[in-house]
Amino acid sequence: MRRFHFVIACLLALSLATAASAQVFQPQSFTLKNGMQVVLIPNHRVPVVSHMVWYKVGSADEQDGRTGLAHMLEHMMFKGTKTIGPEEFSRLVAANGGQENAFTNQDYTAFYQNVAVDKLDLMMRLESDRMANLALRDQDFQPERQVVIEERRMRTENEPDALLMEQMRAALFLAGGYHHPVIGWHQDIDAYHIQDLVEFHRRWYAPNNAILVVAGDITLERLKPLAEKYYGSLKPRPVPERIRRPQPTPVAARTLIIRDEDVHQPSWTRYYLAPSYHVGATGDADPLQVLAEILGDGATSRLYRSLVVDQKLAAAVSADYDPDSLGETVFALSATPQPGVTIETLQAALDKALKEIVTAGVTAPELARAQHKLRAAFTYAKDSYTAGAMVFGQVLTTGGSIKDVEAAPERIAAVTLDQVNEAAKRLLRDERSVTGLLLPAQPGDATVAQDPDAKNGHGLLGGNVK
């Protein structure tokens, strides 16, 4: 299955984009004549490179009724071109000692290979070939559609926590492409045809809509002629404008509950509709990253110390926020109760702790500790030849620039206590939230089937969802 789960990498990227030291990656960049941007992140610790091609298209760029096309096309990119057969791409990468995969997000799709530096020439030849010469055949598409449907069943429809997250996101984003899941709705996957994929590839997979990021043991003098040889010869095409309009003004808190016989550990999750670097109160993006660190990142965070250590109500608690989004984004909090503690008790304690943040604010020591942790994460990331490629790809495909990445350390260092506290007040409002409760099934629970092909036992109570 080609959908690459890279939660840890995304969290690392978030830390990297918020740390404190100028010019850590020393990136170099140039643009080919066809409009394709190339970014080099030198790292000469080991003789390997990470070769990544990022496309400025994701699930949020799809049309209603055709959800999941970006992810489906990611799968089909491994099904051969006019010159190589199905799965030959992966065989060649493996035969040359490389590792490869791909992943799709709401805002981007990326393909990568980690190989010895002397294999970079081959990787560029293969990747540029499928950008320009992908062979989309119905005989390959039909079985791969079933693979994706099975992936959806296994990872979402038969996983109560994933199903809840999907429904929470749909309830939080009432309009636009962020409303639907990256993998697509089941009925849409069933309905589209090979021609939909042909048109999607033609519309978005152009060199002027892609970014090549190469990180590792290579110099600009060696990279530039290779990029010009393989990617520079590809013809540019007009690409559609990517639109991310602000969400309708939220007016009511929403709560979703899923009860399932497979749930043995209840959980509490809350999503807040949050600004990104590009939509909403964009000046809050850096303070909210600091707030997420203060609230729920690690054993020294406020919620962990209060709910896990002091009150012993929670077994785990976390916070997450990623402002690198073309549209509005999610500020997420999650917690699991200790055995014997009810969800109601845990939620009451969480609501009280969040109210204290709004009324009393965070403290200067908490701010300093959060900034220090982010700096440390950034410093450690320099040792990884893949981390920088992840950061720059994510930032550049979501409307940011190289300067934004390099200036992030100073921005975070400049965040003040007042900025964090004011951002928290604007964010932590009931009407901006969707709360999700995952609970064990009980006799007599009402259930609502989410999909006729999903397994029995899922129940969804309340909420304004699709």
- Average pLDDT for 15-20: 39
Q: Mark out the alpha helices in 214-363 (DSSP H runs).
A: 220-230, 285-296, 302-303, 343-360
CA distances from 404 to 23, 264, 373, 428 (A): 11, 44, 20, 27
- Average pLDDT for 382-396: 89
Distance of CA 278 to the CA centre of its chain: 16
Question: Could you tell me if residue 395 is inside a domain?
Answer: no
CB 315 within 8 A of CB 236: no
Can you give the pLDDT at residue 457? 34
Using CA atoms, how far apart are residues 17 and 29, in angstroms rounded to an integer? 18
Question: Could you tell me if residue 237 is inside a domain?
Answer: no
Question: Could you tell me if residue 247 is inside a domain?
Answer: no
Q: Mark whether 310 and 454 lie in a shared domain.
A: yes
* Prediction pTM value: 0.90
CB 314 within 8 A of CB 307: yes
Question: Residue 10: pLDDT above 50?
Answer: no
Is position 74 annotated as part of the catalytic site?
yes
Can you give the pLDDT at residue 245? 86
Can you give the pLDDT at residue 254? 97
**If you average pLDDT over every residue of the chain, what do you get?**
90
- Average pLDDT for 416-423: 98
* HEC string for 189-230: HHHCCHHHHHHHHHHHCCHHHEEEEEEECCCHHHHHHHHHHH
Q: Mark out the alpha helices in 17-155 (DSSP H runs).
A: 69-76, 88-95, 120-133, 138-152
Q: How confident is the model at residue 5 (pLDDT cuts 50, 70, 90)?
A: very low
- Average pLDDT for 427-452: 79
Question: Could you tell me if residue 18 is inside a domain?
Answer: yes
Q: Mark whether 208 and 304 lie in a shared domain.
A: no
Largest CA distance in the chain: 69
Question: Residue 197: pLDDT above 60?
Answer: yes
Q: What are phi and psi of 440, to 5 degrees?
A: -65, 150
Using CA atoms, how far apart are residues 167 and 180, in angstroms rounded to an integer? 9
- Average pLDDT for 197-206: 98
Overall domain count for the chain? 2
| CATH number for position 362 | 3.30.830.10
Tell me what percent of the residues of the chain surpass a pLDDT of 70: 89
Q: Mark whether 272 and 351 lie in a shared domain.
A: yes
Q: Mark whether 111 and 207 lie in a shared domain.
A: yes
In three-state secondary structure terms, 4 is coil
- Average pLDDT for 262-266: 94
The least confident of 108-112, 296-300, 436-440 is: 296-300
- Average pLDDT for 373-382: 73
- Average pLDDT for 347-361: 98
Number of H helices, E strands in the chain: 16, 12
SS3 content of the chain, % helix, strand, coil (to 5): 45, 20, 35
Tell me what percent of the residues of the chain surpass a pLDDT of 90: 82
Q: Mark whether 20 and 59 lie in a shared domain.
A: yes
Question: Could you tell me if residue 285 is inside a domain?
Answer: yes
The residue ranges of DSSP E strands in 240-358, in sequence order, are: 254-260, 267-274, 314-321, 329-337
Q: Mark whether 218 and 328 lie in a shared domain.
A: no
Q: Mark whether 56 and 204 lie in a shared domain.
A: yes
- Reported as half-sphere exposure (CB side, CA atoms, 13 A), residue 64 has a value of 4
The one catalytic residue in 62, 74, 166, 293 is: 74
Using CA atoms, how far apart are residues 367 and 363, in angstroms rounded to an integer? 6
The residue with tokens 């992936």 is: 151
Q: Mark whether 103 and 164 lie in a shared domain.
A: yes
Using CA atoms, how far apart are residues 12 and 378, in angstroms rounded to an integer? 9
CB 286 within 8 A of CB 415: yes
Question: Closest by alpha carbon to 2, among 73, 80, 108?
Answer: 73
Q: Which domain holds residue 270?
A: 254-386+401-461
pLDDT 10s digits, 90-138:
999 999 999 999 999 999 999 999 999 999 999 999 999 999 999 999 9
Q: Mark whether 288 and 162 lie in a shared domain.
A: no
